[in-house]
Amino acid sequence: MKNPLKKVAMVIAATAALSAIIPVTSAAAVSRTDCGNRTDFVKITNYNWSKTLCFANAGSQNVHIYRVNEVKAGNNRVLVTLGGRNYTIEKNRSIKDIEGLDQELTYIKIY
């Protein structure tokens, strides 16, 4: 009969070896946050300029934000899908709905 401690030691050694060669990746997720007076967050204003939502952290997310008036990139490069069209917004830039289309924002990616 084989030594069970030897088997356990081999499993631990194999696990340690795999852990050393497999890179750890962090989950990239956009998160909603309180805007406060911050200007570095992605800021979305909607419902006739009466509501503001802010997002932080790199990543992407499907969303449903209705009647969007403006999207500000803050200190980020951002890709959004607004009214079915993709828009890339560069750092410290914004896009505004000057025609009153009240479109839905369905996707956001912060680089």
* pLDDT tens sequence across 74-95: 999 999 999 999 999 999 999 9
Which amino acid type is present at position 96? K
Residue 99 — pLDDT band, cuts 50, 70, 90?
confident
CATH topology of domain 27-110: Gamma-B Crystallin; domain 1 (2.60.20)
Domain ranges of the chain: 27-110
H or E, element range at 55: strand 51-56
8 Å CB contact between 90 and 77: yes
